[in-house]
Structure 1
Amino acid sequence: MTMMIDFLDETGKVAPGEISQVEQLLQFAAGKMKVEEGSEVSVTFVDNERIHAINLEYRQKDAPTDVISFPMEEQGEGEIEISGADMPRILGDIIISIERAKEQAEEYGHTYARELGFLAVHGFLHLLGYDHESKEEETEMFSLQKEILEEFGLARE
């Protein structure tokens, strides 16, 4: 295993097999992206109400969203970098609304497993510094997402 992944299902509605698939997918993505052995990430599954509150508090957006990432390596103004040779790389947190994942799977006409995987990979790439603010960034990030999902076996149907 490349990464330590801590899962928290605040909803109690994510099946063990779904969590296992997200874990396998993120391990696959970590290997593909050459993430250092022993790196850490957390994944929390929430409902729309909870992700709405998080989105409002941290992004000042008054609506539920599908996935939010909090990279630990992104330094804010005035923060100093903490590093150590024996410290694991802590990538950050991925928060996924399972309600939005189910809604979007239906809307896009693919499986819930594929949508959950897409959101996990999307959030993971944000933790690694990828973004989609510009057209060039979007092209790079979305191409990587598609490649990871297809190679893992979760291609868009």
Structure 2
Amino acid sequence: MLYTENRQDKIEVTDEFVNKITEVCNFALKEENMDIPYQISLLFVDNSEIKEINNETRNIDRETDVLSFPMLDFEEGKVYKDIYVDFEFDETFKDGEELILGDMVLSLEKALEQSEEYGHSYEREVSYLVVHSILHLLGYDHMVDEDKVKMRAREEEILNKLDIRR
């Protein structure tokens, strides 16, 4: 289940928009072999609020596009689809039958700016950021070049399967 909260007033958030993001989440999770009920919280913010959260949580005093706060811990270099298929999760990580994957914070204002900068649709940019964040929740990272290449390829593969292209 995707839980959303809109804390910004610069860009309209419609039911159709939330449904599309939910579809992207469900598809990305399925592609990563996540076949159990899940829970993700997604907070829509503006640039000012994401800058504040980025500073508070990462000591980086600048705006960013998306932040991910995973609940699950993964060994370095390991991701959900490679090690947790058939893994039994401790009740600590569950809310009833739903596995709590974590939280995402998305600046819709930054997504719009980047869609214009990169010359593709707003829908494509938001979908990319959502897939990017989900992969972080599932253990992917991009701090070293090898991991970055792997993560970028996976993002594009998922988006292409959804027919969401640049």
Q: TM-score, normalised by structure 2?
A: 0.84
1:39 corresponds to 2:38: yes
- Name the structure 2 match of 1:130: 140
- Name the structure 2 match of 1:103: 113
Query: Take 2:15 and 2:113, find their aligned partners in 1: how far apart are those partners?
Result: 20
| Structure 1 residues 65-76: aligned runs within 5 Å | 65-74=64-73
- Name the structure 2 match of 1:10: 7
Query: Take 1:32 and 1:134, find their aligned partners in 2: how far apart are those partners?
Result: 23
Stretch moving more, 34-43 or 54-63: 34-43
| 1:105/1:112 contact within 8 Å kept | yes
Query: Take 2:107 and 2:8, find their aligned partners in 1: how far apart are those partners?
Result: 9
Shift of 1:18: 1.5
Q: Secondary structure of the residue that 2:41 maps to in structure 1?
A: strand
**1:89 paired residue among 99, 111, 117:** 99
1:116 corresponds to 2:126: yes
**Which amino acid counterpart does residue 64 of structure 2 have in structure 1?**
T
Query: Take 2:16 and 2:125, find their aligned partners in 1: how far apart are those partners?
Result: 15
> Alpha carbon RMSD of aligned pairs, Å?
1.6
**Which amino acid counterpart does residue 148 of structure 1 have in structure 2?**
I
Q: Secondary structure of the residue that 2:98 maps to in structure 1?
A: coil
Query: Take 1:155 and 1:87, find their aligned partners in 2: how far apart are those partners?
Result: 34
Shift of 1:89: 1.4
| 2:40/2:103 contact within 8 Å kept | yes
| 2:112/2:125 contact within 8 Å kept | yes
Identity of aligned residues (%): 38
- Equivalences, count: 147
Query: Take 2:58 and 2:43, find their aligned partners in 1: how far apart are those partners?
Result: 18
Query: Take 1:26 and 1:130, find their aligned partners in 2: how far apart are those partners?
Result: 15
Shift of 1:150: 0.7
| 1:36/1:89 contact within 8 Å kept | no
- Structure 1, unmatched stretches of 5+, are 76-81
* Misfit runs of 4+, over 2 Å: 84-88
**1:140 paired residue among 139, 150, 155:** 150
- Name the structure 2 match of 1:29: 28
Query: Take 2:154 and 2:13, find their aligned partners in 1: how far apart are those partners?
Result: 26
Q: TM-score, normalised by structure 1?
A: 0.88
Stretch moving more, 6-15 or 107-116: 6-15
Q: Secondary structure of the residue that 1:89 maps to in structure 2?
A: strand
- Name the structure 2 match of 1:149: 159
Query: Take 2:149 and 2:107, find their aligned partners in 1: how far apart are those partners?
Result: 24
Greater relative contact order (Cα 8 A, min sep 6): structure 1 or 2?
2
